[in-house]
């Protein structure tokens, strides 16, 4: 069978160190303020029953990538081996792919003004090297390989463990598989207590200078 690359993020091994995040910057020279991958850190519980969870995020190199379907110039396209590529020479920077991707893993390069994202370090993979983030991870929480080869490490890990993908309901068929991800880290919307309800009448009266604005928490 032909090669189909995939990645496993084993959260039982992840220490939330951000090495994968910095390794990607170092490899791809992604500009300041935009990211091909990052490590979300979430705390839950009430003192003293509190715990943390981590969630490294990157392009899922989906089997059914909505970004590819929606790109009007074929600047982003899917390779035979599953890598969703990004052609910086073709891209016009319409950002429609960014708006479409359910995982927000694409960004407009602030210096080159074209869209970029993780392409699973295809330049490394193509010469037989693992992606830079996988290479850096100090605890081997990241596993990359051919999921069509039953003998590969990743196939064995996938076969032996319960895995999750992000937002399966979006039908993008992600190929970054998580082991042991926590629901509160995977979910993207704020919990009930993070919501700040707005009294729209007061809001407008304050905007129009009729009422004094109420002091807001935070900055």
Q: Is residue 78 at the binding interface for another protein, with CB under 8 A as the rule? A: no
Q: Is residue 177 at the binding interface for ligand SF4, with CB under 6 A as the rule? A: no
Site for another protein in 36-75 (CB under 8 A): 38-48, 50-52, 57, 66, 69-75
Q: Is residue 157 at the binding interface for ligand SF4, with CB under 6 A as the rule? A: no
Beta strands 37-46 and 115-116, pairing class: unpaired
Q: Is residue 119 at the binding interface for another protein, with CB under 8 A as the rule? A: no
Q: Which of 183, 175, 115 is nearest to 145 (CA)?
A: 175
Q: How far is the CB of 175 from another protein (least distance, A)?
A: 15
Q: How far is the CB of 87 from another protein (least distance, A)?
A: 9
Beta carbons of 14 and 54 less than 8 angstroms apart: yes
Beta carbons of 15 and 139 less than 8 angstroms apart: yes
Alpha-carbon dihedral sign for residues 162, 166, 172, 174: negative
Site for another protein in 146-205 (CB under 8 A): 146, 149, 151-153, 169-170, 172, 184, 187-198, 200-201, 203-204
Q: How far is the CB of 85 from another protein (least distance, A)?
A: 14
State the binding partner of 3 from ligand SF4, another protein, none, CB within 5 to 8 A by kind. Answer: another protein
Of 44-52, 86-94, 154-162, 193-201, the segment contacting ligand SF4 by CB under 6 A is 86-94
Q: Which of 170, 192, 165, 191 is nearest to 55 (CA)?
A: 165
Q: Which of 170, 175, 147, 121 is nearest to 9 (CA)?
A: 175
Q: Is residue 34 at the binding interface for ligand SF4, with CB under 6 A as the rule? A: no
Site for another protein in 200-219 (CB under 8 A): 200-201, 203-204, 207, 217-219
For residue 101, count CB atoms less than 10 angstroms from its CB and return exposed for 0-12, middle for 13-18, buried for 19 or more.
Answer: buried
Q: In the structure encoding, which two tokens stand for residue 2, read together? A: 């032909």
Beta bridge partners of 112: none
Q: Is residue 133 at the binding interface for ligand SF4, with CB under 6 A as the rule? A: yes
């Amino acid at each position: 069978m032909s090669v189909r690359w995939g990645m496993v993020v084993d959260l039982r091994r992840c220490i939330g160190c951000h090495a994968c995040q910095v390794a990607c910057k170092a490899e791809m020279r992604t500009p300041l303020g935009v990211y091909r991958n990052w490590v979300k850190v979430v705390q839950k519980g009430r003192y003293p029953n509190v715990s943390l969870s981590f969630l490294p995020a990157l392009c899922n190199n989906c089997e059914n990538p909505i970004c590819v379907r929606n790109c009007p110039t074929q600047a982003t396209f899917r390779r035979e081996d599953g890598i969703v590529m990004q052609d910086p020479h073709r891209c016009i920077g319409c950002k429609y792919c960014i708006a479409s991707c359910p995982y927000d893993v694409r960004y407009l390069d602030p210096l080159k003004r074209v869209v970029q994202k993780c392409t699973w370090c295809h330049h490394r993979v193509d010469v037989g090297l693992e992606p830079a983030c996988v290479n850096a991870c100090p605890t081997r929480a990241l596993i990359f390989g051919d999921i069509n080869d039953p003998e590969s490490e990743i196939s064995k890990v996938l076969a032996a463990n319960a895995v999750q993908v992000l937002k399966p309901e979006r039908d993008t068929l992600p190929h970054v598989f998580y082991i042991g991800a926590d629901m509160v880290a995977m979910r993207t919307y704020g919990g009930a207590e993070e919501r700040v309800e707005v009294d729209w009448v007061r809001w407008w009266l304050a905007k129009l200078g009729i009422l004094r604005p109420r002091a807001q928490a935070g900055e």
